[in-house]
Structure 1
Amino acid sequence: MALHHVTHGEGTPVLALHGWTPDHRLMTGCLEPIFANRPGYRRLYPDLPGMGQSPAGDIDSSDGIMAALREFVDAEIGTEPFILIGESYGGYLSRGLVAERPDQILGLGLICPIGVALEHADRTVPEHVVLESDPEVLAGLTPAQVEDFTGIAVVQTAETLRQYQQDIEPGLDAADAEAMARIRKNWALTIAPESGPVFTRPSLILCGRQDSSTGYADQYPLLPHYPRASYVVLDGAGHNLQIEQPALLAALIDDWLTRIAREPEPDFPAGLPTQPTSR
């Protein structure tokens, strides 16, 4: 399956995976301003199946989405080493890719990722709170828009609303609701994240202290598997951390990219597997 995607820049490949329901604009909106100051990277932003402009076809599981991602990596990156960034559900898929291709991935970045508990009912998350609010911001929005924005936003200002409407809302509107419901019934990957060897390349696990969707506690148990990970919990940030704390996001991503650049190039095998190996 050919995934719709956008590509920017030249150099070391960077694969960025958005979360459940939005599309690639969630990632381009927060990452492109960072990479504007860091030449030498080819950024690839796909729409996951059933989201954005990528059709779901007959995919009915996260395994199906992972299969489409494998095809995308093989077609667009091949066996070249690459950097991987995932947000929320995209972080879950990213951890799955690391389990399958640990020798090909130069570094793993996770933004508000799903942690050790996949299903929301099993997660340790705080109650939703609003730390900053401007009532005038919501004027003129439809009730549905107000519910979508305020249901997750911790910082409700004109700027965060603008970013939400630019980077997140279009993807929510474009998602194939029928396909999403079908896939959601088979959400767990057959090859579980962290089922492979310990990942020893530079990593970043970035969480929001007020994130009521994926929280910050369920990511801490991941640390033994990622011994080179910075684990950061930001106050004043919910599940929209990337638009609520953009300056800190940029600083932490920049530090992570610098750590990756300082690492010696690993010796990659001539023919990396295109299918998952048994564990």
Structure 2
Amino acid sequence: MHKIHGSGLPLFMIHGNGVDHRILLPLDGALAESGIFERHYIDLPGFGESDPLSNAGGLPELADWLESEIHSIIGDGPFAVLGNSMGGLLCQEIADRFEDAVQGIFLIAPAVYPDSEQRTLPERAVAIHDQELFLSLSKRDAELFADVAVIQTRDAWEEFSKWVLPGILSANLRAMAKLAKRYFLEPLPLHRENQLSIPVSIVCGRDDHVTGFEDPQRLTLRYPDLHLKIIESAGHNVHIEQPALVAHEIRAWAERVQRLPLSK
């Protein structure tokens, strides 16, 4: 599945594990305001409307597929990437593979380490809990929402059920099982020596117990022009829970990308 919104510099939107492109659609308004991006929403293989890969189906294979997809769409032209969670790790990988073409990177709650045991994670926290809401939900919906939500209100649930839940329910479980067996990149982007001097912004929730907010700070070693924003009262779906603050960061990043000469 591949949907295009707007026109301008191609921006590839890469979702995380267990969801699909719809989790990133709430960002489209802020991206459209910038007026500089042609937004490419892609379902990775095995998620949303995309068929799973026939081969091993791990992170290396997803990266290969994504590299081929980008090249088939824009050739050797300039582009930017935006990724969430696992999609943030794939963005780091793709930026290295297209070092001479990538113009900017925006990461939302990115995975830095695929192995969860290597991650620095905060304790589970809930900022707001609406008990009446949870009594009105099915057991399945309540569990899926509570698993990641820091702000557990009806408004937050409505956003989650619109943008996140459909991708969760449509994910191919066999593809996810294959991905889990090869959930690594070697070497990790974090551990590579080259630096990319392009506009990079990272947004994390202070209460993100899935990928955390501390590990992304290590990426300053790779990206000298990195801006990191840690948002309070937000978890792994920080852009769902604090949309206005994330939209502000997107607009600021877009301005930095727009100022970058297209000289590559």
Whether TM-score is above 0.5 comes out as: yes
Seq. identity, %: 33
Of 89-98 and 134-143, deviating more is 134-143
* Number of aligned residues: 262
* 1:137 aligned to which of 133, 136, 143: 133
Alignment partner, residue 118 of structure 2: 122
Give me the whole-angstrom Cα distance separating, in 2, the residues matched to 1:161 and 1:76. 35
Choose between structure 1 and 2: higher helix proportion: 2
Deviations 1:99-118 (A, max 9, x none): 21111110011100012x32
8 A contact 2:34–2:254 mirrored in 1: no
8 A contact 1:201–1:228 mirrored in 2: yes
Give me the whole-angstrom Cα distance separating, in 2, the residues matched to 1:155 and 1:140. 17
* 1:75 aligned to which of 64, 72, 76: 72
Which amino acid is 2:71 matched to?
A: D
Alignment partner, residue 188 of structure 1: 184
8 A contact 1:100–1:196 mirrored in 2: no
Give me the whole-angstrom Cα distance separating, in 2, the residues matched to 1:215 and 1:141. 28
Alignment partner, residue 229 of structure 2: 232
TM-score by length of 1: 0.91
Which amino acid is 1:166 matched to?
A: K
The alpha-carbon deviation at position 156 of structure 1 amounts to: 0.8
8 A contact 2:202–2:216 mirrored in 1: yes
Superposition pairs for residues 231-270 of structure 1, below 5 Å? 231-266=228-263, 268=264
The alpha-carbon deviation at position 191 of structure 1 amounts to: 4.9
Alignment partner, residue 50 of structure 2: 54
RMSD of equivalent CA atoms = 1.3
Superposition pairs for residues 1-279 of structure 1, below 5 Å? 4-28=1-25, 30-60=26-56, 61-115=58-112, 117-194=113-190, 195=192, 197-266=194-263, 268=264
Give me the whole-angstrom Cα distance separating, in 1, the residues matched to 2:8 and 2:257. 14
Give me the whole-angstrom Cα distance separating, in 2, the residues matched to 1:238 and 1:212. 7
TM-score by length of 2: 0.96
Give me the whole-angstrom Cα distance separating, in 2, the residues matched to 1:218 and 1:16. 22
Q: Structure 2 unaligned segments of length 5 or more: list them.
A: none
Give me the whole-angstrom Cα distance separating, in 1, the residues matched to 2:203 and 2:53. 33
Q: Structure 1 unaligned segments of length 5 or more: list them.
A: 269-279
8 A contact 1:18–1:90 mirrored in 2: yes
